[in-house]
Structure 1
């Protein structure tokens, strides 16, 4: 007798999720130029790997004492865990790490998230599961809609004479910055009981 075909479970049919690695490194002011050059080399090398979605070096917003290390953030994004692992285990990454490490102070801090989970992860945690995707999408829209509306009413008129691409670039950068450091942290704190409520 033929064995009935099994229906794939949601776990086996789920689509792969993009993965973002957020890295924090401290750099002495005297080594900034060398560090940034090495990081740009690493970012350029990562672009040639399958599944690479993007990368960026985020410079410190404030510069303090000349002897105080500066906090840099580096972002790498890949479309799947497997492609991220291929990059992390590659000889190219190892080579560029050798160029970067002499210009840093202390150990790096690494945080890995999937999709938009960065906005919804618990502070200082790398293990907490993200809320359901539909809740993530809902809260993301609740944050992006008023943010974009505010920027179109305040910033966009000041850029009316700019070309379209630079205008869109400025607006989207501001949206990301406001969502990451202002809007999303407050929304996720206010809506925390709902976001992380256990399903019945």
Structure 2
């Protein structure tokens, strides 16, 4: 055996860490809505102080529904990698806020975690199906963001012309995220589903 055969092959480069989004669904008693929202907003604010925090949002029910039925709320937490997400989930601050949230909820929470932008592209009837190839995700994301940003620059941006730069960018990017997440992306991924999830030949 020659010396070359004894040289170990170089280890594969570690994959770069991916952002992780946690989607949580909770049912809330109608009489406890105000207290639940206050507690959840407190938890979201606490998460902002943790390393790697990318954002969070409380999404109220779209319809009021029956006054006697629990209301379905969604909560989104995003961190830049799994380690920072775990640090938040294992923290004493989160545990304290959970103690304030839980008395206002009904049943157990439903939790779904995905990496990067994959939650836009997951199959609607499955939480385990693999996301499409990243290049397809990039193409569909661009197809949604380009017209959304163009529309906002033609309609909203002129109204903010006298604002300082940072608030203008904040408003525009916030609108892009909201429109993409709850409007454009779900429709694009539904229309392009056969192509996104086509098996490689």
22-31 vs 133-142, which moves further: 22-31
> What is the alpha-carbon distance in structure 2 between the residues aligned to residue 190 and residue 61 of structure 1?
23
The alignment yields a C-alpha RMSD, in angstroms, of 2.3
Counting only pairs closer than 5 Å after superposition, residues 1-200 of structure 1 correspond to structure 2 as 1=3, 3-9=6-12, 13-200=14-201
179-188 vs 114-123, which moves further: 179-188
> What is the alpha-carbon distance in structure 2 between the residues aligned to residue 161 and residue 112 of structure 1?
40
> What is the alpha-carbon distance in structure 1 between the residues aligned to residue 86 and residue 163 of structure 2?
41
The alignment of Structure 1 onto Structure 2 pairs a total of residues equal to 198
After TM superposition, the score normalised by the length of structure 2 is 0.84
Give the CA deviation at 1:58.
2.3
> What is the alpha-carbon distance in structure 2 between the residues aligned to residue 166 and residue 62 of structure 1?
31
> What is the alpha-carbon distance in structure 1 between the residues aligned to residue 143 and residue 181 of structure 2?
14
> What is the alpha-carbon distance in structure 1 between the residues aligned to residue 23 and residue 198 of structure 2?
27
Give the CA deviation at 1:74.
1.1
- Deviations, residues 9-37 of structure 1 (Å, cap 9, x unaligned): 4xx52111110101111223321222122
Local SS of the residue matching 2:21: strand
- Unpaired runs of at least 5, structure 1: none
- Deviations, residues 51-94 of structure 1 (Å, cap 9, x unaligned): 33222222334434543433222111122223222322333322
- Deviations, residues 110-137 of structure 1 (Å, cap 9, x unaligned): 1111101111111142211111211111
> What is the alpha-carbon distance in structure 1 between the residues aligned to residue 160 and residue 91 of structure 2?
43
| Cα separation, partners in 2 of 1:140 and 1:35, compared to 1, 3 Å | same
